[in-house]
Amino acid sequence: MIFTILTLFPSLFESPLNESLIKKARDRGILDFNIVNVRDFALDQHKTCDDYPFGGGAGMVMKVEPILGAMRHVEQQMGGRPHFTLLTPHGRLFSQDVASGMARRNHVVLICGRYEGVDERISSYIDDEISIGDYVLSGGEAAALVVIDAVARLVPGVIGNEQSSMDESFRESLLEYPQYTRPQCINDLEVPSVLLSGNHEEIRRWRRKESIRRTILRRPDLMDRFTASQEDRRFIREIMEELGE
């Protein structure tokens, strides 16, 4: 899978895309990154990429033409039109479902805004607008890295053990069960004994129930989208009784 990033700050991607899982996936040819400096496509000799907002007001607005130039360049490089996504606080909210949809594409282009955002007319040229949350970042680069990280781990072969991404939080609208590692006891805090039992079926049931318990307690909103099996419904009843409800 190829990620192309259109940015005014290419160096921000150097370290994060050259470490850990992503670095290994790059080395194995599973992921590829194409960082395009939008400033290279500015139309004037000063390489201007921002300008004053029409109507006045604070700050500068990112110009459309350099971004369009960078998009045309990517189309020529790739020999076709890829899927263009703008990172913006006005976009649809990024989620595990959105990440899964993106992971099915061969090529995703992420456009990073700066300043007070991009001239609104960019929306006529792009396919999607994504926000990573209800807060304002200084630029789309940090948001692009969040999207890349979440999408990359869903691309087959990126995570060594495919089961880990199957079990993770938000699959089936549930948070993941609690995880423990050695030592078995820290300051009187013991690992739940079932996890030491070696009984795989009991461990599976415990994890499933704790996953449901954690979701009910911490993110009850997710339960509205959860389709419970007969076993899950029994766990829910037990959890409610244990909680005294």
Determine the residue with CB nearest ligand SAM: 113
Least Å distance between CB 159 and ligand SAM?
25
Q: Which helix (H) or strand (E) holds 92?
A: strand 83-93
Could you give the 3-state DSSP secondary structure of residue 152? Answer: helix
Contacts of 82 (CB under 8 A, 6+ apart): 4, 74, 75, 107, 108, 109
Nearer of residues 114 and 209 to ligand SAM, judged by Cβ: 114
Residue nearer to ligand SAM on the CB measure, 98 or 239 = 98
Helix or strand run (H / E) with residue 3: strand 2-7
Write down the least CB distance from residue 207 to ligand SAM, Å. 33
CB of 147 to ligand SAM, least distance (A): 9
151 burial type by CB count under 10 A (0-12 exposed, 13-18 middle, 19+ buried) = buried
Q: Tell me whether residue 68 or residue 195 sits nearer to ligand SAM (CB atom).
A: 68
Choice between 131 and 215, CB closer to ligand SAM: 131
Tell whether the torsion through CA atoms of 25, 81, 78 and 49 is positive or negative.
negative
Smallest gap from residue 115 Cβ to ligand SAM (A): 6
**Which tokens is 130 given?**
């994504």
Residues lying near ligand SAM in the complex (CB under 6 A): 87-89, 112-114, 116-118, 131-133, 135-140, 143
CB closer to ligand SAM, 88 vs 215: 88
Name the minimum Å distance from CB 9 to ligand SAM: 11
